[in-house]
């Protein structure tokens, strides 16, 4: 055909088809999205430190392994209370003259999603230790260590933030101190929380829910003992282990041991349920514990499984708690006035 | 009996006996076929004669056809494209190999410039914009004028574009290692001044190619040039859309990101490489391409469907649901160009399959084509919502990108380079090291991808069953080790490739006539 033998017409046609489709699938949807979305009313802008921390997050390529998107599928429930919305990303603007917008949604989840890491792991102590070398707190972790965000000093100044790490991880006789960069980065991580939707808005549903296995209505459904201990171990690994460690011994100077802990072994489970649901910051020598139970929306069965796992491992030997007891305590906590 | 003996004539008897004796004494003279004349190739028909052939350690393949020399200025340009491309291949995969090791040994080093998050984009960008792009352009500088039956429009333009692209990759690499990047979008990590150099390089290439096609002495534009010239146009559009700061706020950035990362792969690397195959494959098989119209069908459908599929990287995200659906539909549509292209290449092979055993370039072509079919269809399979549940966010994507960028693009580029360089320099690489390159690359790729695909499928299942995340990290350890092993083999194969390129470029044992002559004279003086 003559049309195809004319280079102007041939490549002109290919070019027009290409930019037409580009407009349709990229440019117009992007502009439309930009114009029709605004940050949620409840969302707080990043603090100055968090802005600097985000720049560090970008420059060290954290997005290569950490996503920041809770998809609307059931399996992503562990990473947030609701699926992400376009509005969640609306406050991201061009970084500066040199650098593009950093939405940081990511495409790889080699390591955990960080959408709500600020609620899941708000502890400054944990984050600093983990950044200095992740394997201090999570021995299976393959995250890089970031020692250049820290300094070793013989005599730390008064205002220095001291990071307590095991002796094997630092030089003898020196004290490890967080630089401003490390504090900025943690400030950014602490700022990562899902904003609550305004009052009347219903959050979109998580899709592909697993079908609940319905037990026979007549016979009572009682899970076997091994099932309970397995789920207790799994839940402990997900929610507790990063600080209190797999062996229950915690980390000296950072996270208290559960092995032999009077709180864990106490016959009355009120205090431990309280701590799990509301967090704890009563002891100065240890880091702050977040409200793990409330953040992850744990139900009484799950809380009981965790407590029973802690009560029957590492040489601990305390009577099991029942789901009913836990449920009563949780109800009581919920009725208490919000502080 | 007595009567019979009496009846025989003596003369007859003697003749018969003599005849019998001659028959029994007969031996071959050993020149029955050659004749008695000494061998002489009056018309110069015989090449590559080896008088003392060594014991063949590996199967011997046919040597490259001797072709008329390519004009030296173009030769030099192409050779430098291929040399710098190979440098970035070795550099980029050394980095890739090292970050693969970091999955197994995360404390291998603790320097900020070598941290995983900074090196990962160094690896991907170096092999994309450094290795693959430069290799494609090098081959393109040969193919575009050749199928237009004319000379390249401008040699200097080619040099400028070579320099600009190399500068972009060098600067980009330094920036990334120093922690300066564009915001974290994959393959968009170079900041805009760096990418500006790259796109200037592309723009000069486009002018050069387009003007070459414009002054072609053939009536029609050969299909290779459809693919090659279009892909350069598209790459410029893609980079423009991705870097202009007009539609990048909020989720707009992510929509553009999906578009950019996938168009870069499909409209730049894949389209250009297909153009190269449409020239070199028929040429190496010494047959015309099976069907011109299948090639045209694949061309238009590739533009139509590939264009749509970018956001399939963000299925279930906050991106508009309809856009995700369009991407999935486009991914299914991709079956058409992939099947059309593969069919076309395979049917070109038809009747010439025996040539594969005889050639050291055709195995590269065949491997690339097979991965083109399987890898592309795997991409379609990954795009559905149900499969996204299982595979999205896992290393399955990494395995897929290596099956395609490596299995398709790299193998086809190597095929083209092994076919082209002997024409340019008259030198061939030793067949045994070409074989080592091929097998190490292929086996390495399979070691890399198959365990990774299996492991990440299981990891996806663990996530769906809400197992603890850290358990899924521990679970991957053996598969990451396999990845490092496969990666090491691939990396080793690139050293062989670099050596082969050296052997194809450097003429061995050149004799400096002047110096030798003076030496000879000197020694005569000494004797007398």
Phi–psi pair at A178, nearest 5 degrees: -80, 135
For range A197-201, the mean pLDDT: 83
Task: Point out the residue among A26, A83, A237 whose CB comes nearest to the CB of B468.
Answer: A237
- A14 interaction partners in chain B (CB closer than 8 Å): 226, 230, 233-234, 303
Q: Do A29 and B184 touch (CB under 8 A)?
A: no
**What does each C-alpha distance from A8 to B47, B142, B225, B268, B516 come to in angstroms?**
45, 22, 13, 20, 56
What span, in angstroms and rounded, lies between the C-alpha atoms of B394 and B107?
Answer: 22
Give A112-155 pLDDT, tens digit per residue: 999 999 988 888 989 999 999 999 999 899 999 999 999 999 98
For range A318-337, the mean pLDDT: 84
Residue B41, pLDDT score = 85
Where is average pLDDT lowest: A11-15, A282-286, B357-361?
A282-286
For range B487-496, the mean pLDDT: 98
Q: Is the pLDDT of residue B165 over 90?
A: yes
Contact B153, B218 (CB under 8 A): no
Q: Do B398 and A108 touch (CB under 8 A)?
A: yes
Where is average pLDDT lowest: A251-260, B265-274, B332-341?
A251-260
What span, in angstroms and rounded, lies between the C-alpha atoms of B201 and B228?
Answer: 15
- A212 interaction partners in chain B (CB closer than 8 Å): none
What span, in angstroms and rounded, lies between the C-alpha atoms of B377 and A316?
Answer: 55
Task: Point out the residue among A29, A109, A144 whose CB comes nearest to the CB of B255.
Answer: A29
Question: Nearest chain A Cα to B466, which residue?
Answer: A75
Q: What is the mean pLDDT of chain A?
A: 88
Nearest CA-CA partner of A292 in A100, A92, A116 = A116
Give B410-456 pLDDT, tens digit per residue: 999 999 999 999 999 989 999 999 999 999 999 999 999 999 999 99
**pLDDT confidence tier of residue B2, bands split at 50, 70 and 90:** confident
Q: Do B112 and A141 touch (CB under 8 A)?
A: no
Residue appearing with tokens 């609307």:
A72
- What tokens appear for B381 in the block? 């399979």
Q: Do B249 and A34 touch (CB under 8 A)?
A: yes
- A88 interaction partners in chain B (CB closer than 8 Å): 318
**What does each C-alpha distance from A211 to A79, A207, A214, B310, B460 come to in angstroms?**
20, 11, 9, 32, 18
Q: Do A61 and B112 touch (CB under 8 A)?
A: no
Question: Nearest chain B Cα to A70, which residue?
Answer: B317
- A31 interaction partners in chain B (CB closer than 8 Å): 246-247, 252
Q: Do B250 and A59 touch (CB under 8 A)?
A: no
Residue B280, pLDDT score = 97
Give B215-247 pLDDT, tens digit per residue: 999 999 999 999 999 999 999 999 999 999 999
Mutate to test the interface with A, among B252, B261, B385 (most CBs of A within 10 A): B252
Sign of the CA dihedral with B303 first, then B305, B311, and B313 last: negative
Residue A219, pLDDT score = 44
Three-state DSSP at B69 gives coil
Pick the residue with more confidence: B291 or A235? B291
Residue appearing with tokens 């083999």:
B489
Residue B75, pLDDT score = 95
Top-ranked range on mean pLDDT: pick from A124-138, A221-235, A293-307: A124-138
Top-ranked range on mean pLDDT: pick from A245-249, A255-259, B92-96: B92-96
> What's CA B154's distance to the chain center, in Å?
26
Mutate to test the interface with A, among B254, B301, B473 (most CBs of A within 10 A): B254
Q: Do A143 and B467 touch (CB under 8 A)?
A: no
Q: Is the pLDDT of residue B376 over 90?
A: yes
Q: Do B103 and A10 touch (CB under 8 A)?
A: no
Give me the half-sphere count of Cα atoms (radius 13 Å) on the Cβ side of residue A337: 1
- A101 interaction partners in chain B (CB closer than 8 Å): 183, 248-250, 252-253
Q: Do A63 and B307 touch (CB under 8 A)?
A: no
- B315 interaction partners in chain A (CB closer than 8 Å): 71
Q: Specify the DSSP class assigned to residue B150.
A: S
- What tokens appear for B59 in the block? 């199967």
Question: Nearest chain A Cα to B193, which residue?
Answer: A98
Q: Do A33 and B117 touch (CB under 8 A)?
A: no
What span, in angstroms and rounded, lies between the C-alpha atoms of A190 and A195?
Answer: 13
- B174 interaction partners in chain A (CB closer than 8 Å): none
Beta strands in B134-293 (DSSP E): none
Q: Do A89 and B251 touch (CB under 8 A)?
A: yes
Contact B294, B338 (CB under 8 A): no
What span, in angstroms and rounded, lies between the C-alpha atoms of A166 and A156?
Answer: 17
What span, in angstroms and rounded, lies between the C-alpha atoms of A194 and A104?
Answer: 15
Exposed/middle/buried for residue A323 (C-beta within 10 Å: 0-12, 13-18, 19+): middle
How near does any CA of chain B get to the CA of A135, in Å?
9
Residue B515, pLDDT score = 77
Give B140-156 pLDDT, tens digit per residue: 999 999 999 999 999 99
Contact B316, A72 (CB under 8 A): yes
Q: Do B230 and A104 touch (CB under 8 A)?
A: no
Q: Do A11 and B233 touch (CB under 8 A)?
A: yes
Pick the residue with more confidence: A17 or A166? A17
For range B295-301, the mean pLDDT: 96
Q: Specify the DSSP class assigned to residue B476.
A: H
Give me the half-sphere count of Cα atoms (radius 13 Å) on the Cβ side of residue B8: 12
- What tokens appear for A335 in the block? 């009725």
Nearest CA-CA partner of B449 in B383, B403, B491 = B403
Q: Is the pLDDT of residue A94 over 70?
A: yes
Residue B508, pLDDT score = 73
CB atoms within 10 A of CB A24: 14
CB atoms within 10 A of CB B75: 16
| B396: Cβ contacts below 8 Å, ≥ 6 apart | B382, B452, B453, B456, B457, B460
Residue A338, pLDDT score = 55
Nearest CA-CA partner of A133 in B73, B16, B110, B153 = B110
For range B178-190, the mean pLDDT: 94
Task: Point out the residue among A89, A107, A237 whose CB comes nearest to the CB of B471.
Answer: A237
- Report the 3 state secondary structure along chain A: CHHHHCHHHHHHHHHHHHHHHHHHHHHHHHHHHHHCCCCCCCCCCCCHHHHHHHHHHHHCCHHHCCCCCCCCEHHHHHHCCCCCCHHHHCCCCCCCCCCCCCCCCCCECCCCCCCCHHHHCCCHHHHHHHHHCHHHCCCCCCCCCCHHHEEEECCCCCCCCECCCCHHHCCCCCEEEECHHHHHHHHHHHHCCCCCCCCCCCCCCCECCCCCCCCCCCCCCCCCHHHHHHHHHHHHHHHCHHHHCCCCCCECCCECCCCCCHHHHCCCCHHHHHHHHHCECCCCCCCCECCHHHHCCCCHHHHHHHHHHHHCCCCCCCCCCCHHHHHHHHHHHHHCCCC
How near does any CA of chain B get to the CA of A209, in Å?
10
Top-ranked range on mean pLDDT: pick from B34-43, B49-58, B66-75, B506-515: B66-75
- B464 interaction partners in chain A (CB closer than 8 Å): 75
Q: Do A78 and B466 touch (CB under 8 A)?
A: yes
Residue A176, pLDDT score = 93
Mutate to test the interface with B, among A10, A11, A28 (most CBs of B within 10 A): A11
Task: Point out the residue among B247, B251, B310 whose CB comes nearest to the CB of A25.
Answer: B310
Whole-model pTM?
0.88
For range B24-40, the mean pLDDT: 85
Q: Do B117 and A63 touch (CB under 8 A)?
A: yes
Sign of the CA dihedral with B156 first, then B158, B161, and B162 last: negative
| A8: Cβ contacts below 8 Å, ≥ 6 apart | none
Q: Do B470 and A98 touch (CB under 8 A)?
A: no
Question: Nearest chain B Cα to A92, which residue?
Answer: B250
How near does any CA of chain A get to the CA of B141, in Å?
18
Count Cβ–Cβ pairs < 8 Å, chain A vs chain B: 258
Mutate to test the interface with B, among A110, A113, A136, A205 (most CBs of B within 10 A): A110
- A26 interaction partners in chain B (CB closer than 8 Å): 241, 255-256, 259, 310
ipTM: 0.87
For range B324-351, the mean pLDDT: 96
Residue B54, pLDDT score = 75
- A2 interaction partners in chain B (CB closer than 8 Å): none
Residue appearing with tokens 């960028």:
B405
- B185 interaction partners in chain A (CB closer than 8 Å): 100
For range A199-216, the mean pLDDT: 75
How near does any CA of chain B get to the CA of A30, in Å?
4
Question: Nearest chain A Cα to B299, which residue?
Answer: A14
Three-state DSSP at B58 gives coil
**Percent over 70 (pLDDT), chain B:** 98
**pLDDT confidence tier of residue B371, bands split at 50, 70 and 90:** very high
**pLDDT confidence tier of residue A218, bands split at 50, 70 and 90:** very low
**What does each C-alpha distance from B36 to B25, B32, B47, B49 come to in angstroms?**
21, 8, 23, 21
Nearest CA-CA partner of A244 in A233, A259, A229, A234 = A259
């Amino acid at each position: 055909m003559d049309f195809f033998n004319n280079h102007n017409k041939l490549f002109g046609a290919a070019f027009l088809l290409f930019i037409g489709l580009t407009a349709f699938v990229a440019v117009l949807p992007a502009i439309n999205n930009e114009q029709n979305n605004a940050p949620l009313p409840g969302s707080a802008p990043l603090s100055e430190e968090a802005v600097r921390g985000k720049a560090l997050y970008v420059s060290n390529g954290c997005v290569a392994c950490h996503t920041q998107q809770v998809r609307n599928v059931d399996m992503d429930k562990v990473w947030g209370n609701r699926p992400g919305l376009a509005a969640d990303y609306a406050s991201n603007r061009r970084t500066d003259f040199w650098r593009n917008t950093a939405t940081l949604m990511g495409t790889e989840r080699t390591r955990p999603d960080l959408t709500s890491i600020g609620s899941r792991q708000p502890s400054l102590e944990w984050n600093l230790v983990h950044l200095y070398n992740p394997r201090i707190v999570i021995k299976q972790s393959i995250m890089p260590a970031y020692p250049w965000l820290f300094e070793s000093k013989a005599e730390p100044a008064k205002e220095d933030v001291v990071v307590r790490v095991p002796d094997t991880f630092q030089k003898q006789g020196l004290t490890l101190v967080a630089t401003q960069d490390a504090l900025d980065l943690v400030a950014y991580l602490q700022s990562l929380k899902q904003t609550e939707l305004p009052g009347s808005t219903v959050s979109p549903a998580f899709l592909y829910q697993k079908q609940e296995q319905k037990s026979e209505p007549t016979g009572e459904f009682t899970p076997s003992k091994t099932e309970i201990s397995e789920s207790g171990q799994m839940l402990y690994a997900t929610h507790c282990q990063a600080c209190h460690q797999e062996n229950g011994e915690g980390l000296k100077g950072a996270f208290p041991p559960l092995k032999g802990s009077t709180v864990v072994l106490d016959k009355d489970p009120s205090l431990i349920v309280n701590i799990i649901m509301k967090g704890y910051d009563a002891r100065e020598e240890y880091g702050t514990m977040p409200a793990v139970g409330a953040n992850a929306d744990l139900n009484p069965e799950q809380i009981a499984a965790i407590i029973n796992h802690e009560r029957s491992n590492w040489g601990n030997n305390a009577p099991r708690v029942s789901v009913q007891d836990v449920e009563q305590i949780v109800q009581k906590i919920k009725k208490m006035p919000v502080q | 009996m007595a009567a019979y003996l009496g009846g025989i004539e003596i003369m007859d008897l003697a003749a018969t006996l003599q005849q019998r004796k001659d028959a029994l004494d007969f031996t071959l003279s050993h020149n029955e076929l050659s004749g008695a004349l000494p061998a002489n190739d009056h018309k110069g028909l015989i090449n590559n004669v080896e008088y003392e052939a060594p014991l063949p350690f590996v199967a011997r393949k046919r040597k490259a056809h001797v072709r008329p020399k390519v004009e030296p200025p173009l030769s030099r340009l192409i050779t430098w494209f291929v040399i710098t491309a190979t440098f970035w291949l070795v550099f980029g995969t050394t980095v890739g190999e090292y970050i693969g090791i970091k999955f197994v040994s995360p404390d291998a080093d603790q320097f900020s410039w070598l941290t995983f998050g900074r090196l990962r984009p160094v690896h991907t960008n170096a092999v994309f914009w450094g290795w693959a792009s430069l290799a494609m352009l090098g081959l393109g500088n040969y193919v575009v004028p050749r199928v237009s039956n004319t000379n390249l429009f401008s040699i200097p333009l080619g040099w400028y574009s070579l320099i600009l692209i190399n500068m972009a990759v060098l600067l980009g690499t330094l920036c990334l290692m120093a922690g300066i990047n564009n915001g974290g979008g994959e393959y968009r990590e170079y900041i805009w001044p760096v990418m500006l150099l790259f796109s200037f390089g592309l723009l000069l290439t486009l002018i050069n190619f387009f003007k070459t096609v414009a002054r072609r002495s053939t009536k029609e534009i050969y299909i290779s040039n459809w693919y090659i010239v279009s892909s350069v146009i598209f790459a410029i559009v893609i980079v423009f859309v991705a870097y202009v700061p007009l539609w990048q706020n909020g989720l707009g950035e992510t929509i553009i990101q999906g578009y950019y990362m996938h168009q870069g792969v499909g409209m730049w690397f894949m389209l250009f490489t297909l153009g190269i195959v449409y020239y070199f494959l028929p040429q190496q098989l010494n047959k015309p391409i099976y069907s011109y119209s299948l090639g045209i069908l694949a061309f238009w459908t590739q533009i139509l469907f590939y264009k749509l599929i970018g956001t399939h990287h963000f299925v279930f995200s906050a991106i508009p649901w309809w856009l995700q659906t369009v991407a999935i539909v486009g991914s299914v549509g991709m079956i058409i160009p992939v099947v059309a292209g593969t069919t076309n290449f395979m049917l070109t092979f038809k009747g010439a399959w025996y040539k594969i055993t005889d050639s050291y370039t055709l195995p590269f072509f065949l491997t690339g084509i097979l991965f083109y079919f399987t890898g592309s269809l795997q991409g379609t399979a990954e795009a559905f919502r149900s499969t996204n549940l299982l595979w999205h966010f896992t290393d399955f994507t990494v395995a897929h990108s290596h099956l395609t960028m490596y299995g398709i693009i790299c193998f086809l580029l190597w095929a083209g380079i092994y076919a082209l360089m002997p024409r340019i320099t008259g030198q061939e690489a030793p067949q045994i090291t070409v074989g080592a390159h091929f097998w190490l690359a292929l086996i390495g790729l399979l070691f890399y991808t198959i365990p990774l695909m299996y492991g990440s499928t299981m990891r996806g299942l663990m996530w769906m069953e809400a197992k603890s995340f850290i358990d899924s990290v521990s679970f991957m350890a053996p598969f990451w080790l396999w990845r490092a092993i496969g990666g090491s083999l691939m990396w080793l194969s690139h050293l062989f490739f670099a050596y082969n390129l050296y052997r194809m470029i450097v003429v061995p044992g050149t004799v400096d006539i002047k110096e030798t002559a003076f030496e000879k004279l000197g020694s005569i003086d000494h004797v007398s």
